[in-house]
Chains A and B, each alone.
Chain A
């Protein structure tokens, strides 16, 4: 009886198979192209501003549709790596952190744009910015975000404690913090991003270099477990025990630091440039507007270092396997262009060096409410910034160092033991 259904079954099966085949990606046809962008919603322009930039881009390029997807910084690396496993990849343009360029270049994810950058562009963008997107002489994208961690302080709290200037050394910070604590102005004077994420490496690098240390030596071997590195880590632990560093720092990333500082619960904070506008000028986001000031990142007394911080810069790159590479590159060029970067400089300073000299500097500092303060802060702090090693195994090496720092901060191991174990892991990774 049922056998009369057989043709129906065969038809259904055929339809199923066809629909599966239909899932296979089609080659991009002529006509409108879609450029899919993966970026992050922390630092840099807000999503509203990013959409405005797309609208402006479309005035000149009506045929290129731009779709932007945002993830948190801590999800970005893994999201890119998994998206690259498909063909064609899920994105055409990706935001790449300084420390991932070596890994991604080795894996062949990114399009070589060395020949596409004209001499004028090459000349006008900071040389330090090109170092971000360049691996072994090959350039894999346009630099976009030239950032460092800055030292912020709450002027009102410091004044109430009787201090007219921010600390110049970490020792001085401890002294000021003790007074602030004694006067009951805040419970924990400084908040850090020491959670188990890249954020803790950034803060540690600032302290490490501020103590005259470095992550690796001239031969690329791990150097963070020497005396300087151990001292920096021991200092971190000591400030938690003394109630100077917020003990919750061990579970915090940058956004937590911003929230605590913006609520007036910390006198000092270490964070990226984006915090300035949000904490000092944006009343929806902050209870301490008008009280936020920049100080030069302190260093340890007797280290011979004036200031040291982390260089956390990023670039936009075109995906090598993208079917729309040319269209994607057009968008990247537009997004990173001098005029767009100047227009949206409230949360992000331009990578174009010409803006920081002479008359251009005047106009840059007058672009919006933030730049009169952020531009001088950048000029003062950025020369003291240090990059992390550009190595293909960075993600794994960094995780080992994150673990070591947290093991020391939670007293599972001594700072020396923890850093020695991480150094052994780095040596093992280098040997692979």
Chain B
């Protein structure tokens, strides 16, 4: 290397690596910018307009009118309430059942490998197929649910399942739990496998009951995994759309219209892209807020023994 070199040579190794690293990241950043950030910003701009779907260029600015209209809309608040109900019941049940099943697999009962593998199947089924499946199961005249309950003697005649708003919502939730539970089990089971056996064994020697071992050792150590499952599933459940579209189309009497479904109706069925965008934005804000609350509540820097 000669003395009379180009200025670039004056960069130290770290700076050089930084610069090359930037070049390598650039394509990725560009792609994220194009497929994520631009649409998000575009939606944000649209949310302040009365843009129709038939001509989706931002036009007819109305300021905060779309957002203010939601505050007054009964339909909007009902949808928000239904979405919270769906999310809390669905994610809550998945977490409790997921923990139970993961613990069961962890205790290595006979056939646990088969159990672990077959658990994946519902998760591998696409949501749309899952919805169609449950629509058939719930059918009042030729569905499997009526058939099962009849043969068990629990009902004396076929019942119409999807004709009462609250029941319909709970049945959609069951279909969603069936589909998403494997994901929670997988995460928790993987986390359980990393807990050293010695810790629970030592506690047992010291006289801790199974209950104490579960609550004082297993749960605290599982906390990061529970947090991950909780955040991912809450965000997913809050945006639920496809399973409802297939099973109930939002019926009966809007009883299963969640906020995402309402957004779909607003934007694509009614063609109000502006207010639809405002609704999508509110959904994003809600999910972001929930993720932040979770992290605040549960996330603690790892305590080293």
Partner of A410, one of B31, B163, B265: B163
Nearest-Cβ distance from residue B212 to partner chain A, whole angstroms: 48
- Please provide the chain B residues from 235 to 280 with a CB less than 8 Å away from any CB of chain A in the complex: 248-255, 264-265, 268-271
Partner of B252, one of A1, A10, A410: A410
Contacts of B269 in A (CB 8 A): 77-78, 81, 395-396, 399
- Whether the pair B27, A196 counts as a contact (CB closer than 8 A) is no
Contacts of A128 in B (CB 8 A): none
Contacts of A12 in B (CB 8 A): 27
Whether A6 contacts B20 in the complex (CB less than 8 A), given A250-B163, A265-B141, comes out as yes
Whether A412 contacts B165 in the complex (CB less than 8 A), given A107-B52, A265-B141, comes out as yes
Given the complex of chains A and B, what is the CA–CA distance between A81 and B264 in angstroms?
12
Contacts of B305 in A (CB 8 A): none
B195 interface residue (CB < 8 Å to A): no
Contacts of B52 in A (CB 8 A): 107
Given the complex of chains A and B, what is the CA–CA distance between A259 and B255 in angstroms?
25
Which interface class (under 10, 10 to 19, 20 to 34, 35 or more) fits B? 35 or more
Partner of B141, one of A13, A246, A396, A410: A246
**Could you say which of A170-178, A208-216, A292-300, A401-409 contacts chain B?**
A401-409
Given the complex of chains A and B, what is the CA–CA distance between A410 and B55 in angstroms?
38
Nearest-Cβ distance from residue B43 to partner chain A, whole angstroms: 13
Among A103, A250, A407, which residue has the most Cβ atoms of chain B within 10 A? A250
- Whether the pair A108, B54 counts as a contact (CB closer than 8 A) is yes
**Could you say which of B87-95, B100-108, B154-162, B173-181 contacts chain A?**
B154-162
B211 interface residue (CB < 8 Å to A): no
Partner of B24, one of A9, A16, A74, A109: A9
- Please provide the chain B residues from 1 to 48 with a CB less than 8 Å away from any CB of chain A in the complex: 8, 16-17, 19-20, 23-24, 26-27, 30-31, 34
- Whether the pair A78, B253 counts as a contact (CB closer than 8 A) is no
Contacts of B139 in A (CB 8 A): 248, 256
- Whether the pair A250, B141 counts as a contact (CB closer than 8 A) is no
Main secondary structure of the interface of B (DSSP, over half): loop
- Please provide the chain A residues from 91 to 117 with a CB less than 8 Å away from any CB of chain B in the complex: 103, 106-109
- Whether the pair A259, B249 counts as a contact (CB closer than 8 A) is no
- Whether the pair A196, B20 counts as a contact (CB closer than 8 A) is no
- Whether the pair B268, A82 counts as a contact (CB closer than 8 A) is yes
Whether A196 contacts B250 in the complex (CB less than 8 A), given A2-B17, A251-B162, A399-B269, comes out as yes
Given the complex of chains A and B, what is the CA–CA distance between A250 and B139 in angstroms?
12
A84 interface residue (CB < 8 Å to B): yes
B286 interface residue (CB < 8 Å to A): no
- Whether the pair A406, B253 counts as a contact (CB closer than 8 A) is yes
Interface size on A, residues (CB 8 A): 47
Given the complex of chains A and B, what is the CA–CA distance between A82 and B276 in angstroms?
13
Whether A2 contacts B20 in the complex (CB less than 8 A), given A9-B26, A85-B53, A109-B54, comes out as yes
B140 interface residue (CB < 8 Å to A): yes
- Please provide the chain A residues from 217 to 270 with a CB less than 8 Å away from any CB of chain B in the complex: 246-248, 250-251, 256, 259-260, 263, 265
- Please provide the chain A residues from 56 to 79 with a CB less than 8 Å away from any CB of chain B in the complex: 74, 77-78
- Please provide the chain B residues from 130 to 156 with a CB less than 8 Å away from any CB of chain A in the complex: 139-142
- Whether the pair A259, B142 counts as a contact (CB closer than 8 A) is yes
A24 interface residue (CB < 8 Å to B): no
Contacts of A13 in B (CB 8 A): 26-27, 30
A3 interface residue (CB < 8 Å to B): yes
Nearest-Cβ distance from residue B65 to partner chain A, whole angstroms: 13
- Whether the pair A250, B158 counts as a contact (CB closer than 8 A) is no
Contact code string A376-405 (vs B, CB < 8 Å = 1, else 0): 000000000000000001011001000100
A281 interface residue (CB < 8 Å to B): no
Given the complex of chains A and B, what is the CA–CA distance between A361 and B34 in angstroms?
60
Contact code string A1-42 (vs B, CB < 8 Å = 1, else 0): 111011001101100100010000000000000000000000
Partner of A16, one of B27, B162, B163, B248: B27
Whether A107 contacts B253 in the complex (CB less than 8 A), given A196-B248, A248-B160, A251-B160, comes out as no
A195 interface residue (CB < 8 Å to B): yes
A179 interface residue (CB < 8 Å to B): no
Give the 10 A-B CB pairs with smallest separation, nearest first.
Answer: A196-B251, A107-B54, A248-B140, A406-B253, A2-B20, A248-B160, A251-B162, A250-B163, A247-B160, A396-B270
Chain B interface (Cβ < 8 Å from any Cβ of A): 8, 16-17, 19-20, 23-24, 26-27, 30-31, 34, 52-56, 139-142, 157-158, 160-165, 168, 248-255, 264-265, 268-271
Task: Known pairs A78-B264, A85-B54; list 14 more (Cβ under 8 Å).
Answer: A2-B17, A5-B23, A9-B23, A9-B26, A78-B269, A85-B53, A248-B140, A251-B163, A259-B141, A395-B270, A395-B271, A396-B270, A409-B163, A410-B165
